[in-house]
Chain A
Amino acid sequence: MGSLTGSMLMAANALLVQQGALQATSNNIANANTPGYSREVPILTEATPVVEGNLAFGRGVNLQQIASVRDQLLQFRLYDETQQQGNADAQVSNLTQIENQFSSSTSGIGTDLTAFFNSLNQLATSPTSSSQRQAVLAAGNTLANDFQGTVAQLDGIKQNLNQNVVQSVNQINTLTGEIAKLNTQVSTLQNQGRDPGATEDQRDELIRQLSQITEITAIPTTEGLTITTGNGVPLVVANQSYSLQATPDASGAEQIHSQGQNVTSTLQGGQLGGLLSVRDQFLPTVTASLDNLAGGLAANFNAAQAQGFDLSGNPGQAFFSATAGAGAAASFKVAITDPSLVAASSDGAAGSNGNIANLAAVQTQKLASGETPLDAYAGIVFSVGNATAQAQAASQASTLGLQQVTDQISSVSGVSLDEETTNLIRFQHAFEAAARVITTVDQLTQTVLNMPST
Chain B
Amino acid sequence: MRVNPNPANDILAAIQTTQAQEQTALLQLSSGKRVNTPSDDPSASASEIRNQATEARIDQYLQSVSSLQAQMQTADSTLNSVVTTLNQAVSLGVEATNGTLSDSNKAQIQQQIQGIIGSVVQLANTSFQGAYLFAGTNTTEQPFTEGAGGVTYSGNAGSNSVAIADGRSLQSSVPGSQLFQQPGSDVFGSLQQLSTALQSGTADDINTATAAVSAALNYLSGQRVFYGTALNQLNDDQTNLNQVTVNLKSQDNSLVGADPTKVATQLSQAETAHQAALAAAAKILPESLLDFLPIN
Contact = CB atoms under 8 A, between A and B. Distances in A.
Interface residues of A, number: 63
Interface stretch (A115-123, A207-215, A268-276): A115-123
A389 interface: yes
Contacts of B162: 121, 124-125, 353
B50 A407 contact: no
Interface stretch (A103-111, A156-164, A218-226, A277-285): A103-111
Given A113-B53, A121-B61, A347 B156 contact: yes
A411 B160 contact: no
Which of A113, A118, A411: most chain B CB closer than 10 A?
A: A118
Interface string B80-120: 00000000000000000000000000000000000000000
Contacts of B48: 105
Interface in A405-422: 406-408, 410-412, 414-419, 421-422
A422 B288 CA distance: 11
A354 B56 contact: no
B293 interface: yes
Interface string B130-141: 111001111110
A347 B4 contact: no
Nearest to B173: A351
Interface in B30-87: 36-43, 45-50, 52-53, 56-57, 59-61, 63-64, 67-68, 71
A113 B42 CA distance: 20
Given A124-B160, A352-B160, A102 B38 contact: yes
A375 B50 contact: yes
Contact of B139 (A128, A388, A412, A418): A128
B288 A354 contact: no
A206 interface: no
Which secondary structure dominates chain A's binding surface? helix
B261 interface: no
B46 A403 contact: no
B45 A350 contact: no
Contact of B3 (A100, A351, A411): A411
Contacts of B136: 349, 351
B53 A418 contact: no
A385 B37 contact: yes
Contacts of B71: 125-126
Interface string B253-273: 000100000000000000000
B6 A414 contact: yes
Given A105-B49, A382-B46, A389-B42, A354 B2 contact: no
B163 interface: yes
Contacts of A392: 39
Interface in B198-230: none
Interface string A372-392: 001101110111111011001
Nearest to B2: A411
Given A381-B45, A417-B289, A125 B38 contact: no
B290 interface: yes
B130 A128 contact: yes
A360 B158 contact: no
A326 interface: no
A86 interface: no
Given A352-B137, A410-B5, 9 more contacts: A349-B138, A349-B156, A351-B138, A354-B137, A382-B45, A382-B46, A385-B41, A410-B9, A417-B290
Interface of B: 1-6, 9-10, 13, 36-43, 45-50, 52-53, 56-57, 59-61, 63-64, 67-68, 71, 128-132, 135-140, 156, 158, 160-163, 169, 172, 256, 288-290, 293
Interface of A: 95-96, 99-100, 102-103, 105, 110-111, 113-115, 117-118, 121-122, 124-129, 345, 347, 349-354, 357, 360, 374-375, 377-379, 381-386, 388-389, 392, 399, 403, 406-408, 410-412, 414-419, 421-422, 425
